[in-house]
């Protein structure tokens, strides 16, 4: 068991490299122990906060992206704002937090600080009723999708809980389910994984598109009592992440099911897992994995050495690295030139860029990094005669 609030932060020069396959490697950054011992779901918001549900503590906990504890809400019960066996959790673009409860067969909606807003659901098989709601996900319009585990279906609601539609019946055929648990939404696609150990892709209206998961590809195991978790996450670019607790790893696929990579082995060490049951990916590509039996959240990034970068054409130095509030770039140029300096996340998305004038010789440029979250980035410098890039670590 990891020590409570133990925070392990490693610089690029000494990171543990996860055992990735498929041409992309993820590296372990740090982890933190949740304040209670039974995490069951994980989600993130656009401000960099991470939310964790705790199944037996009947609570939601909010953390900073580096593991700093922020707040906790929830007490056992069935009244407004109380929780009973919370599992799935999701956060919309406005910051509202949605939680599924296995014990109360309902969904509750909270503010980002835990203020109760509304709820919907009851025990049953009718429209809007649940038999063990599990995974929960949101689309860009704010619609809410819930895997109704015991009823072998997915239900779709508005953000205020008005029932829209449903799909799925028990079975193994295309579009059918056996105890669906994990769900994720990206653009116009809904991804669902179930007890058939396969991942199915649907439209947002429930039209079956495709599936993957040949025998032996996934080994997702329910917990004691048949509890299943939301083991799916999706990145900003649409890649699908699966927390496979039977294989003690995380697997990554394209939106069409092509394998990208996987990492993880069984254990308690850095980058290892002991029952991974939830995954979330933030806007800069950091991957947050709930490691249930270690009562921890582990954080990973794409290894920047695996990100396509430009060749060095001049000596470029950055200090400090890791950085916090600002960096100093020292660029050695062989001529006067106009250059573009940019900062990119690990998925190659441009975060910031600016045109700058370089002189023949040494150039020193100070850049603010106050608005960057902790993680790995790529700095690129380009002109007609200068092409240079290097990894940058932001660590506070």
Rounded to whole angstroms, what are the CA distances from 348 to 246, 251, 376, 379?
32, 20, 11, 11
For position 52, what pLDDT does the model report?
Answer: 97
**Contact in structure between 325 and 69 (CB atoms under 8 Å):** no
| 99 CB-contact burial (10 Å; exposed 0-12 / middle 13-18 / buried 19+) | buried
Cα–Cα distance for residue pair 59/298, rounded to 1 Å = 20
pLDDT, tens digit, 9 for 90 and up, residues 313-349: 345 667 777 788 888 887 777 778 888 888 887 667 7
Rg (CA), the chain: 22
For position 337, what pLDDT does the model report?
Answer: 81
For position 20, what pLDDT does the model report?
Answer: 47
**Which is it for the CA torsion 159, 194, 27, 38, positive or negative?**
positive
Q: How many CB atoms lie under 10 A from the CB of residue 269?
A: 12
Instruction: Give the 3-state secondary structure of 229-241.
Output: CCCEEECCCCCEE
Element (H, E) at 200: strand 199-203
Q: Could you tell me how many residues make up the chain?
A: 396
pLDDT, tens digit, 9 for 90 and up, residues 164-214: 999 999 999 999 999 999 999 999 999 999 988 899 999 999 999 999 986
Mean pLDDT by 10 residues, the chain (396 residues): 26 39 71 87 92 96 91 97 97 96 98 98 98 97 97 98 98 95 96 93 98 82 75 91 94 90 90 93 88 91 52 55 80 80 80 84 82 82 73 77
For position 44, what pLDDT does the model report?
Answer: 94
Cα–Cα distance for residue pair 236/350, rounded to 1 Å = 13
pLDDT, tens digit, 9 for 90 and up, residues 25-52: 788 888 888 888 799 999 999 888 999 9
Query: Phi and psi for 285 in degrees, rounded to 5?
Result: 90, 5
Give the mean pLDDT of the chain: 85
């Amino acid at each position: 068991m990891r020590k409570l609030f133990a925070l392990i932060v490693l610089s690029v020069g000494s990171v543990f490299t996860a055992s990735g396959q498929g041409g992309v490697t993820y590296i372990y950054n740090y982890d933190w122990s949740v304040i209670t011992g039974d995490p069951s779901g994980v989600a993130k918001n656009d401000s960099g906060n991470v939310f964790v549900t705790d199944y037996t503590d009947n609570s939601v906990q909010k953390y900073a992206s580096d593991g700093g504890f922020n707040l906790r809400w929830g007490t056992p019960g069935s009244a407004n704002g109380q929780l009973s066996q919370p599992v799935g959790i999701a956060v919309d673009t406005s910051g509202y937090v949605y939680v599924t409860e296995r014990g109360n067969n309902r969904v509750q909606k909270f503010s980002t600080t835990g203020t109760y807003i509304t709820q919907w659901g009851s025990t049953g098989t009718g429209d809007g009723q649940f038999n063990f709601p599990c995974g929960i996900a949101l689309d860009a319009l704010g619609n809410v999708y819930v895997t109704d585990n015991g009823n072998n279906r997915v239900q779709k609601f508005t953000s205020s809980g008005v029932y829209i539609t449903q799909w799925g019946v028990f079975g193994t055929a295309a579009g059918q389910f056996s105890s669906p648990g994990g769900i994720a939404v990206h653009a116009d696609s809904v991804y669902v994984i179930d007890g058939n150990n396969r991942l199915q892709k649907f439209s947002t209206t429930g039209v079956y598109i495709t599936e993957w998961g040949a025998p032996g590809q996934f080994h997702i195991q329910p917990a004691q009592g048949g509890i299943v978790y939301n083991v799916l996450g999706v990145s900003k670019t649409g890649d699908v992440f699966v927390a496979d607790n039977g294989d003690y790893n995380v697997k990554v696929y394209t939106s069409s099911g092509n394998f990208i990579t996987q990492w993880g082995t069984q254990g308690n060490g850095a980058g290892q897992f002991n029952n991974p049951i939830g995954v979330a990916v933030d806007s800069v590509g950091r991957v947050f994995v709930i490691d249930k039996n270690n009562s921890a959240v582990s954080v990973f990034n794409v290894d920047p050495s695996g990100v396509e970068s430009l060749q060095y054409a001049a000596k470029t130095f950055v200090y400090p690295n890791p950085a916090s509030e600002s960096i100093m770039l020292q660029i050695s140029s062989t001529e006067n030139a106009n250059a573009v300096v940019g900062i990119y996340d690990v998925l190659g998305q441009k975060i910031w860029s600016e045109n700058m004038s370089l002189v023949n010789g040494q150039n020193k440029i100070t850049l603010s990094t106050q608005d960057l979250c902790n993680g790995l980035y790529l700095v690129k410098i380009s002109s007609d005669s200068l092409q240079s890039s290097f990894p940058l670590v932001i660590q506070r």
